[in-house]
């Protein structure tokens, strides 16, 4: 691929434009700066979510009250969920690494609508402020769970409206990002970059963008209906007024299940970049991965009812949703086979991103297979609303998206900051985090199977030993997290200068200097017929 | 995009579409006076779909746009219809 940049051009980190200092960042329309704004905002909220999670695990260290009352615990898991879902994992990979890397990976100078991109970040900040306002002011933090289920969401005496409105605003941020990426991918690919020459991370962002654009408005309208129900008692969801609370669950999950794919598809895309790079081998089944990405994006729209098997749906709907849930597992499994086949007989270069990617495959497999237990009607009745479900979705959402996020962070770090991190500390951080993760969530599968319900601040004595192990796991995991973050923050400032292409990758972002120039390319690159994102000899 | 063609739609077409939209709006109000039972929602949705079709086709120029843009809009409608049908798998068989 063609290298096209001027070594003398200022990079995007040091560039001084119309505004200086902080203003130069928060009013910048450069996709890379916006990506970093998202990174710092998301990490801030992630820290709050982690602290709440730690507090919840501490509460569960022993039966009965440990450090908080039941009502505080209810608020803690609600706010933990709202922060982690709406502010961390949904925007996570697309808003951070999608923003920073997408234009460079397709040979463009920026996204199609740079100002809209900045507006997306501002809307994100506004949504965050609204949710935080719900915590700090009014009649107590929301206690409904992140799902805001009816009818409790309009009966609860807590300060729910700002949180609901915050989630609504965060949805707009997501829609605008999706729209921007769709137009960027359609219109701004460099000459010669056909659809079948696009990196897989870009393909997954494309599938994700469609979901963001089409599914998010549904939850927006649903949250507006909840607010109207709460303020005026319009009777859409309230059974006392002739409404249907199950309709709320339909509408909520029509968005929130596809949202799981907003979280996981870009994660899969990042893994699909890392594995061929560190195997120095053509990705196995490029077109199969694209097909499975689009299949997941499409079929993922149609399986929302598996969250509602015990909610009183018709038997016909239950059979249908169970069947499609099993079908959507197939494209996910295809990807796993492709990643493993890519590594087979490759020149494996064991570096930190590959550790994260390999552990992603491991935890994603466990998370995915435990999902089949929940997708089957009979077993779901048994483990529904138990700690088993919590273990399952943390293996998928945190194990999947979280591990891929850290994999991507360690993979693209030298490109983003132009510096290399300390690999020894990075590997240590990964190992400690991985052990902590397994210790934290694995006992919850067992506890759930034994009948421990989720969202309770207390439990029977027979669940004590499993909970002790889980709480210890949370401490180990956070220790790993601290090592990782300290190492990356320190290295961003003082690390060794990074080469242009330290991993010997083939995609376009590695053809520009580290950190990239302000406009990415002096001249748009041209992709030749025999070039490709994974053409390793 | 100077090389792209811009189709100029005569005012007459816009006025006809506007009148059609107004007529359909009155019709969708009028139909509520007829007792249609469980088909009431279907009636309202049919009128809404026809109006959306007219707006997308003429006011938003889909009729004169590239095929792949039209295909995308059709895809969105297919998703929407499939979602409604699936939701009613619950309500009709409950």
C-beta of residue A59 within 8 angstroms of C-beta of residue A73: yes
Residue B79 with chain A: CB contacts under 8 Å? 214, 301
Q: Confirm whether A403 is domain-assigned.
A: yes
For residue A206, give both structure tokens: 């494309």
Interface contact B89-A316, CB threshold 8 A: yes
pLDDT value at position A9? Answer: 60
Q: Is the pLDDT of residue A345 over 70?
A: yes
Does a cis peptide bond (omega within 30 degrees of 0) precede residue A123?
no
Query: Residue A128, CB half-sphere, CA atoms under 13 Å: how many?
Result: 20
- Looking at the complex, does the CB of residue B15 fall below 8 Å from at least one CB of chain A? no
Nearest to A131 by CA among A208, A54, A75: A75
The residue of A219, A309, A317, A323 whose CB has the most chain B CBs within 10 angstroms, and thus the best one to mutate to test that interface, is A317
| Residue A18 CB coordination number (10 Å) | 8
For residue A214, give both structure tokens: 């089409």
Q: Is the pLDDT of residue A189 over 70?
A: yes
User: What's the CATH code of the domain at A286?
Assistant: 1.20.210.10
pLDDT value at position A94? Answer: 96
Q: Is the pLDDT of residue A2 over 80?
A: no
Q: Could you tell me the pLDDT band of residue A18, with boundaries at 50, 70 and 90?
A: confident
Residue A317 with chain B: CB contacts under 8 Å? 86, 89-90, 93
Q: Which of A126-140, A326-340, A471-485 reaches the highest mean pLDDT?
A: A471-485
Q: Could you tell me the pLDDT band of residue B2, with boundaries at 50, 70 and 90?
A: very low
pLDDT for A32-47, tens place per residue? 999 999 999 999 999 9
Interface contact B83-A254, CB threshold 8 A: yes
Q: Is the pLDDT of residue A460 over 60?
A: yes
**What is the count of residue pairs from A and B with beta carbons less than 8 Å apart?**
34
| CA distance to A36, A192, B62, per residue, from A112 (Å) | 18, 19, 21
- Mean pLDDT, residues A214-236 taken together: 92
Q: Confirm whether A13 is domain-assigned.
A: no
Nearest to A85 by CA among A222, A270, A255, A292: A255
Q: Is the pLDDT of residue B6 over 90?
A: no
pLDDT value at position A530? Answer: 87
Q: Give the residue with greater pLDDT, A264 vs A2.
A: A264
pLDDT value at position B36? Answer: 80
First to last CA, chain B: 54
Q: How far is A388 from chain B (nearest CA, A)?
A: 26
Residue B89 with chain A: CB contacts under 8 Å? 314, 316-317, 320
- Mean pLDDT, residues B68-94 taken together: 89
pLDDT value at position B4? Answer: 58
- Looking at the complex, does the CB of residue B83 fall below 8 Å from at least one CB of chain A? yes
Q: Is the pLDDT of residue A389 over 70?
A: yes
SS3 A398: helix
**Number of independent structural domains in chain A:** 1
Residue A209 with chain B: CB contacts under 8 Å? none
Instruction: Read off the pTM.
Output: 0.92
Burial class (CB in 10 A: 0-12, 13-18, 19+), B31: middle
Q: Which are the contacts of A272, defined by CB distance < 8 A and separation ≥ 6?
A: A200, A201, A204, A283, A289, A335, A338, A339
Interface contact B90-A305, CB threshold 8 A: yes
Nearest to A102 by CA among A190, A215, A167, A173: A190
Q: Give the residue with greater pLDDT, A478 vs B40.
A: A478
| Residue A192 CB coordination number (10 Å) | 16
Residue A320 with chain B: CB contacts under 8 Å? 86, 89
The string over A230-261, giving b where at least 16 C-beta atoms fall within 10 Å of a residue's C-beta and e elsewhere, is beeeeebbbeeeebbbbbbbbbbbbbbbbbbb
Average pLDDT of chain A to the nearest whole number = 94
Q: Is the pLDDT of residue A118 over 80?
A: yes
Interface contact B90-A301, CB threshold 8 A: no
Q: Computed from CA positions of residues A143, A145, A148, A153, in that sequence, does the dihedral angle turn out positive or negative?
A: negative
Burial class (CB in 10 A: 0-12, 13-18, 19+), B11: exposed
C-beta of residue A448 within 8 angstroms of C-beta of residue A442: no
Q: Is the pLDDT of residue A463 over 80?
A: yes
Query: Distance from CA of residue A100 to its chain's centroid?
Result: 16
Q: Confirm whether A525 is domain-assigned.
A: no
C-alpha span between A66 and A458 (Å, rounded): 9
SS3 A450: coil
- Mean pLDDT, residues A404-418 taken together: 97
Nearest to A316 among B76, B79, B93 (CB): B93
Does a cis peptide bond (omega within 30 degrees of 0) precede residue A151?
yes
Residue B76 with chain A: CB contacts under 8 Å? 214
Residue A314 with chain B: CB contacts under 8 Å? 89-94
Nearest to A284 by CA among A335, A331, A328: A335
C-alpha span between A47 and A181 (Å, rounded): 28
Dump the DSSP string for A4-18.
---TTSPBTTT---S
C-alpha span between A60 and B25 (Å, rounded): 58
Q: Could you tell me the pLDDT band of residue A56, with boundaries at 50, 70 and 90?
A: very high
Q: Confirm whether A431 is domain-assigned.
A: yes
Q: Could you tell me the pLDDT band of residue B5, with boundaries at 50, 70 and 90?
A: low
C-alpha span between A386 and A469 (Å, rounded): 17
Q: Which of A416-430, B28-42, B60-74 reaches the highest mean pLDDT?
A: A416-430
- Looking at the complex, does the CB of residue B85 fall below 8 Å from at least one CB of chain A? no
Residue A313 with chain B: CB contacts under 8 Å? 90, 94
The dihedral over CA atoms of A258, A259, A262, A265, expressed in degrees to the nearest 10, equals -50
Nearest to A317 among B79, B83, B90 (CB): B90
Q: Where are the domains of chain B?
A: 11-93
C-beta of residue A204 within 8 angstroms of C-beta of residue A185: no
Percent of chain B with pLDDT over 90: 34
Q: How many residues comprise chain A?
A: 537
The residue of B66, B86, B87 whose CB has the most chain A CBs within 10 angstroms, and thus the best one to mutate to test that interface, is B86
Interface contact B89-A317, CB threshold 8 A: yes
Q: Is the pLDDT of residue A164 over 60?
A: yes
pLDDT for A60-117, tens place per residue? 999 999 999 999 999 999 999 999 999 999 999 999 999 999 999 999 999 999 999 9
Q: Is the pLDDT of residue A7 over 60?
A: no
Q: How far is A320 from chain B (nearest CA, A)?
A: 8
pLDDT value at position A279? Answer: 97
Q: How far is B12 from chain A (nearest CA, A)?
A: 32
C-beta of residue A5 within 8 angstroms of C-beta of residue A522: yes
Q: Which are the contacts of A344, defined by CB distance < 8 A and separation ≥ 6?
A: A284
pLDDT value at position A156? Answer: 87
> What are the φ/ψ torsions at residue A420 (nearest 5 degrees)?
-105, 140
pLDDT value at position A4? Answer: 42
């Amino acid at each position: 691929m063609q290298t096209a940049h001027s070594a003398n051009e200022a990079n995007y980190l040091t560039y001084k434009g119309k505004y200086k200092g902080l203003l130069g960042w928060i009013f910048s329309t450069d996709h890379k700066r916006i990506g970093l704004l998202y990174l710092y905002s998301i990490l801030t909220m992630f820290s709050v979510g982690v602290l709440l999670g730690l507090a919840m695990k501490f509460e569960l260290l022993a039966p009965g009250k440990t450090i908080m009352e039941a009502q505080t615990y209810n608020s803690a898991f609600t706010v933990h969920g709202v922060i982690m879902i709406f502010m961390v994992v949904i925007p996570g990979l697309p808003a951070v690494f999608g923003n920073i890397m997408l234009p460079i990976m397709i040979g463009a100078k920026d996204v199609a609508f740079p100002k809209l991109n900045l507006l997306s970040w501002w809307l994100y900040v506004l949504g965050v402020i609204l949710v935080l306002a719900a915590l700090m002011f009014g009649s107590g933090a929301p206690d409904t769970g992140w799902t805001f289920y009816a009818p409790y969401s309009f009966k609860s005496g807590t300060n729910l409206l700002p949180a609901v409105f915050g989630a609504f605003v965060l949805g707009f941020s997501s829609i605008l990002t999706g729209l921007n990426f769709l137009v960027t991918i359609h219109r701004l690919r460099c000459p010669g970059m056909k659809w079948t020459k696009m990196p897989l991370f870009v393909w997954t962002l494309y599938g994700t963008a469609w979901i963001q654009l089409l599914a998010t408005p549904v939850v927006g309208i649903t949250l507006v209906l909840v607010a109207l129900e709460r303020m005026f008692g319009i009777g859409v969801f309230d059974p006392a007024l002739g409404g249907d609370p199950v309709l709320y669950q339909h509408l909520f999950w029509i968005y929130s299940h596809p949202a799981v794919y907003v979280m996981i598809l870009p994660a899969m895309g990042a893994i699909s970049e890392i594995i061929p790079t560190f195997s120095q081998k053509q990705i196995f089944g490029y077109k199969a991965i694209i097909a499975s990405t689009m299949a997941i994006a499409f079929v993922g729209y149609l399986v929302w009812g598996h969250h509602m098997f015990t909610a009183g749906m018709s038997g016909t709907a239950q059979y249908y949703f169970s069947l499609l849930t099993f079908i959507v597992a197939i494209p996910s499994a295809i990807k796993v086979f492709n990643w493993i086949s890519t590594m087979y007989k490759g020149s494996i270069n064991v570096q930190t991103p590959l550790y994260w990617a390999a552990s992603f495959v491991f935890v994603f497999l466990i998370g995915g297979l435990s999902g089949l237990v929940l997708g089957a009607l009979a077993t779901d009745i048994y483990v529904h609303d138990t700690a088993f479900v919590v273990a399952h979705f943390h293996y998928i959402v945190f194990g999947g998206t979280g591990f891929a996020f850290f994999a991507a962070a360690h993979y693209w770090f030298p490109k983003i900051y132009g510096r290399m991190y300390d690999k020894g500390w990075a590997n240590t951080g990964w190992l400690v985090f991985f052990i902590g993760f397994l210790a934290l969530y694995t006992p919850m599968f067992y506890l759930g199977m034994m009948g421990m319900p989720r969202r309770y601040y207390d439990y029977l004595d027979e669940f004590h030993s499993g909970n002790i192990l889980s709480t210890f796991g949370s401490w180990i995991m956070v220790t790993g997290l601290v090592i990782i973050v300290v190492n990356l923050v320190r290295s961003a400032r003082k690390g060794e200068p990074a080469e242009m292409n330290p991993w010997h990758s083939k995609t376009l972002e590695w053809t520009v200097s580290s950190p990239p120039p302000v406009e990415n390319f002096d001249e748009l690159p041209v992709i030749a017929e025999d070039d490709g994102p994974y053409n390793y000899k | 995009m100077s090389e792209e063609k811009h189709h100029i739609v005569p005012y007459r077409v816009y006025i006809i579409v506007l009148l059609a939209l107004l007529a359909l709006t009155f019709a969708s109000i009028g139909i509520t006076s007829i007792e249609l039972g469980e088909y009431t929602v279907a009636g309202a949705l049919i009128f809404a779909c026809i109006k959306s079709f007219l707006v997308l086709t003429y006011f938003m120029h889909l009729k004169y746009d590239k095929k792949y843009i039209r295909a995308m809009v059709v895809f969105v409608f297919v998703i929407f219809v499939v979602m409604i049908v699936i939701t009613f798998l619950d309500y009709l068989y409950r």
